């Protein structure tokens, strides 16, 4: 076995760090992805919140523009 081959086997694999431009791009993509996810999550949660709050309102409150039940019924 040659010396080079032995050295290659003994050295641990080191993952090469991607260049800064690629890292920046990946970071921006991750930020955009999370922003979209947060916006979509809010859009999905709000109706659920409204549905959960409506049973705590009186009929008049449910048909008013107020979102928070006052008083709780």
Partner 1 sequence: MSSAPVAGQLGPVMPAIDRRRARRKAVWRRRGLVLLFMSPWLVGFSVFFGYPLVMSIYLSFTHYDLLSSPRWIGLANYRYLFGTDQQIWPAVRNTLWMIVVAVPLQVLFAFGIGLMVSRARRGVGFFRTVFYLPALAPPVAATLGFVYILNPATGPVNVLLGHLGIQGPLWFQSPGWAKPSLVLLAIWGIGNTMIIFLAAILDVPTHLHESAEIDGAGPLQRLRYVTLPSISPVILFAVVLGVIQGLQYFTQAYVAANIASGQASQAADITNTLGYPEGSTLFYPILLYQNGFRYFSMGYAAAMAIVLLVVSLAVTLVIILNSRRWVHYTGSVR
Taking Cα atoms as reference points, which of 30, 27, 73 lies closest to residue 54?
73
Is 22 near partner 1 (CB under 8 A)? Answer: no
What are the structure tokens assigned to 69, written together? 């039940």
Q: Could you tell me the smallest distance in angstroms from the CB atom of residue 37 to partner 1? A: 5
Region near partner 1 per CB under 8 A, out of 7-15, 16-24, 35-43: 35-43
Cβ count within 10 A of residue 61: 19
Q: Could you tell me the smallest distance in angstroms from the CB atom of residue 13 to partner 1? A: 15
Contact pick of 6, 8, 28, 45 for partner 1 (by CB under 8 A): 45
Which of 8/22 has CB closer to partner 1?
Answer: 22
Alpha-carbon distance of 45 to 5, in angstroms, equals 58
What are the structure tokens assigned to 71, written together? 């008083």
């Amino acid at each position: 076995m040659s010396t080079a081959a032995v050295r290659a086997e003994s050295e641990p694999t080191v993952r090469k760090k991607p260049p800064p431009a690629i890292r920046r791009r990946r970071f921006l993509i991750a930020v955009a992805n999370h922003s979209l996810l947060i916006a979509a999550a809010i859009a999905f949660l709000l109706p659920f919140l409204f549905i959960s709050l409506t049973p705590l309102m009186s009929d008049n409150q449910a048909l008013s523009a107020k979102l928070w039940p006052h008083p709780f019924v």
